[in-house]
Amino acid sequence: MNPIPLATRRSFLGGLTAGAATLGWPARGTAGEPERPLGVALCGLGNYSRGQLAPALRLTRACALRGVITGNRDKGLAWAREFGFPERNVYAYATMARLVDNPDIDIVYVVTPNALHPEHVIAAAWAGKHVICEKPMANTAADCNAMLAACRAARVRLSIGYRLHFEPHHRELRRLAREGDFGPLRRLSGGLAFTINRRVWRVEKALAGGGPLMDIGIYCVQAACLAADADGAAHATFAPVAVRAREHPKRRADLFRDVEEGITWAMEFANGASGEFSTSYNGGEDRFRAEGERGWIEFAPAFSYGGIQIRTSAGAPRIGAAPESQQALQMDDFARCVREGRESPVPGEMGRRDLVILEAIYRSAAAGGERAEVKV
Ligand code: NAD
């Protein structure tokens, strides 16, 4: 991870003031007027920003798109015209420190390749901005520690883009886990796979940190922790005690040079729950199942942006209409966390927990499937 340039130290100190100010902000307008939505700047204007987050920010009520951070200034200016924010709110990655002087922006949403999350999150924190960071939080748990420390020092909030925590079918899974309709959910399974046919940053270890486990297997890890956690009191750090893993043989070693093409792993929880999962960049799969002594719940598709379907042994549960955008719910919740001074249900600590689990899965695979302990 690159160190923060010394030149930004002044901005950092200024940022402490700006960050503290935003914690208690904004004041209400005249009676009956809605509060001003918090300003979001998207950092990285690739597929996820373009296809999901920008449209979602047209639906949000507690926050709105007010700026961008991009390597391509012309693209940033085109976004400014399209989304109606001033050109002064277009930044380059190298000028993020200047955000400290911009009261339009309250939240920076980091949507760059995984390896760049630490430097972009830390730069945003130093500029006194609250941060949402896409998954996986970083390539290593050590980088997560640095990101958490920077956000703590700057007194800004950090959350991870775990959109499914706000999705009604996944909320039903959480309810079942905690209320125990089917007894404790003890047998878990699932898989998520899609096919990559060309060299993109997702198959370069230096940028992605790993292969499909880092990118999409993380959703199975998330769902497993949610289902196994019957208590919920320490949900952000609730984790298996150990994992075992085996990498799949590579069918296209030319494409997957230094990352796994696919991997299968088992998770073992202290309360007796266990799970078997797999993920791959060579196939198509999207499912999750959790079973207790008195029943089961099954998701297919389980992790997509929309159209998630569930079945249970007790029939179809009554769940409200699917939201128009999971991401809009997720970003609005974070904006309200910032306003109300409360912790996000998907905080940086949860992103770090998942990296600790993923690192243990890779350790086990490298050791030929030996049991690897997870110490969050
Ligand atoms: P993408 O390749 O479409 O976009 C990445 C952006 O980063 C591009 O605009 C690119 O120009 C920019 N960038 C800056 N420096 C770069 C560099 N050195 N190399 C390559 N690109 C660079 O990727 P994406 O699909 O938008 O994914 C971005 C992040 O969002 C990833 O962390 C990914 O895991 C995450 N993501 C999350 C979800 C979700 O459902 N939560 C879905 C998709 C992606």
Tell me the pLDDT tens digit for each residue of 106-162. Answer: 999 999 999 999 999 999 999 999 999 999 999 999 999 999 999 999 999 999 999
Nearest partner of 101 among 21, 37, 159, 28, judged by Cα: 21
Shortest-distance Cα residue to atom 43 of ligand 1: 48
Is residue 16 pLDDT above 60, yes or no? no
Q: How confident is the model at residue 322 (pLDDT cuts 50, 70, 90)?
A: confident
Alpha-carbon distance values, 364 to 77, 98, 211, 358 (Å): 47, 43, 15, 10
pTM here is 0.93
Average pLDDT, the chain: 92
Mean pLDDT value of segment 334-356: 98
Shortest-distance Cα residue to atom 30 of ligand 1: 111
**Residue 207 contacts residue 119 (beta carbons within 8 Å):** no
Is residue 309 pLDDT above 80, yes or no? yes
**Residue 262 contacts residue 248 (beta carbons within 8 Å):** yes
Neighbours of 184 (CB within 10 A): 17
Tokens representing 161 are 């883009």
Is residue 313 pLDDT above 50, yes or no? yes
CA of 246 to the centre of ligand 1 (A): 27
pLDDT score recorded for residue 15 = 40
pLDDT score recorded for residue 321 = 83
CA of 48 to the centre of ligand 1 (A): 7
Q: Residues 239-290: pLDDT tens digits? A: 999 999 999 999 999 999 999 999 999 999 999 999 999 999 999 999 999 9
pLDDT score recorded for residue 212 = 98
What is the CB < 6 Å shell around ligand 1?
Answer: 44-49, 71, 111-114, 116, 134-135, 161, 163, 201, 207, 215
